[in-house]
Structures are given as C-alpha cells and as structure tokens.
Structure 1
C-alpha cells in the first residue's frame, strides 16, 4: 500500500513540476529546521513539488525503506541495509530558565521535555531529583512556549532558544551539563540523485544557520 501510495503521488506531479520530493522530519526536530529547508527549496527553484510530514523516527525510517519518503530527518537513527545516514548538525540541549538569577530548579519549577530515551537516561543520572517534575511535555515547542508563558526551567535545543537568550527572555543556567542532540538525514542508497541531491544540499546549508529568522 505504501509503494502504491508513492507511485500515485509520482504520477500526480503538479503542473510545472518535474517530480515530487517527499521529506519527513522527526517531531522533536522539525522546528525550525523543516521550515528553513522549505524556504531554502523555494529559493533554489528546483522545479520540485514538495510533500512534508512530521512523525516518529521508526515510522519515518520505515517509509524511507518502502520508498514512500525520499528523505527522513531524525535523531539517532538505527542503521538499516540499503539506507544511508548523513550527519546534518550536532545540536545541543541546554538548561535555560526565565529566572533573573539562574539556579538549579526545584521539581515544582521544572519543565521536563521528553527528548527521547538517551536523553532520559543521561538526564536521570545528572538530575535524579528532577524526575518528578511538575510539568512534563512530550513536544519541544510546547514545552518552550509553556516555559515562556508561565516561567520555569528546562532543557531545550540551543539553536531554538538562541534568540530568546539574546533578547534576555531566557538565561542559561551556569555549571549545568549539555546533552548532544544531533540530526541526521536518512535516504535510500538507490535514491534518484536528481531529486535527493538538491534537497540534501539545501538541508546542509540550512542546518548551519543560527538565526531562525534568516533564510539561506
């Protein structure tokens, strides 16, 4: 069914486009990487119709293997035969706070964002007392917006909160560990280079941007 769905999409190429490019992004990584990439692809004017989706890593990789997606952007992908994995960016998770005097938080003031099992293990070793946080968010953007609105402390991707740090809305909590959160591009070894290569080029460019408001 997935292969048939992909075939139907390729047949239904919009007028003026030479092919359909399908890209999926893991839920915790789409903001702002996927938007930057879409804007970059539009500027590149590659005559490709674009379809995007956001989902969990395992399902996205399944779709790449089945040919439903051309590229998946995920965190810590499992190696699979027939798939190529390329590091895009080595993102960091850092502890930030709305407090004017940054300090280690109490559980009642902490917003725990579920960044995956590896983060949970490292975080549990570093902060066993914060495992019972008052607020637990399964989505990074939700946790970030809650933190900005209600106040508190939590771990977030540095690239995403950088503008808030620059403006003073958030502050780094000193002497706290950073956790790596890299993003990878996964695509089929036999993918059409005329479709995948330009998309990867734009991904590499936008992955190095630091200001979410900038276009490539």
Structure 2
C-alpha cells in the first residue's frame, strides 16, 4: 500500500511540474463572441494552448485565462497581440488567435495580464511595423473571414461586416498615410466584394436596402 501511495505522489509531482512549465496569461476583452472554456489558442497554423476560464468582471469586461503549451512559450513575447476569431476548423466555435507584430522581444512572464485587441487593430499595428508581414496576416485573415461569411446566416454576416468596417474606420483614422494608402488599395476592394456578395444574398429576399448603413460606412472609409 505504501509503495502505491509513493508512486501516486511521484506521478502527481511530475504532473504538476509539467503543468508549471506551461504559460498562463490573462487577456481582457470587451466582447468574447461566444468564446468559452477549452476553446483553442492558435498561432499561425498551430494550436498552441487553450482557454482555461472566462470571467465576466465588475468592470463590465471579460477576463480570459489562457494556457500556452511549453513548446510555444518562446513565441509569446511583449510583441504579441491576442484577438478572438471564429475557429477555422469549426465555424460554430471561437478561438483566441495570437500574432506577433515584431520578432524578438522579452518573453511574457507567467500570469501576465494583457489588453486584448480586435483583428483589424492587431493587423494594422503589424502593418505599421512590417508592411510585408502585415500584408501576409491580412490576406490570411481576410480569406478566413470571407469563407466564414459564406457559411453563416445573413443577419450574422451583416453584423460581422458592420463590426469589421467600424474597426477599420477607427484604425485608419489613427494610422499613418502609408498604411492608409495600403488599406485603400488592398483591403477595401476585398471588403467591397464581400459587401456585394451580401447584397446579392439580400436582394433575393427583397432586403438589400438593409445594407445602407454599411454602404455609408464604406464611403466614410474611402474619404479618410
């Protein structure tokens, strides 16, 4: 019996040691888009961790606890940003995506608390640091966004396009001329195409006039 107890204690200690080598972070988000415990954390094409817990705070925001696997902790530096997107492998779920706006930087310490980003602000920040890498991120994210819009109901597609345009408008007003020009050239044509795709869907149901607010916001973006 004593031998069995000792074995169990050793296994428990080893397990705790392995868990301690993972990295725990806390990210604050204003909205969580259905994110819940055990949803994934992704970086590039890898699933690098999971959501441990989602807590609604007294401040009216959400504190999301993440666990990053030991193999990927070196990638988690002061230059990473976190935002919530649909799971590319399961459109019914959400994930926390991590991107690096710059290579290098100091590794984050265990239990660090960070402010979450939205997808547009994170990618535009990366554009400002590195245009080539930023455009790679944009193309990847937009391809996933376009595929997602095809699979969801019209009302949800409308809301996602509306949010994307509002975020883009806010970020462009804060950005420099080079980034604004690149957005006008690369991003807006893609967003206009998705707006047209949604218009066709709504036209079949006699509801295309519902797109007027998005068309107005698109025109405001063009004038920045």
- Name the TM-score, length of structure 2 as normaliser: 0.24
Larger radius of gyration: 2
- Report the structure, 1 or 2, having the larger helix content: 2
- Higher-strand-fraction structure: 1
Question: What TM-score do the two structures reach when normalised by structure 1?
Answer: 0.24
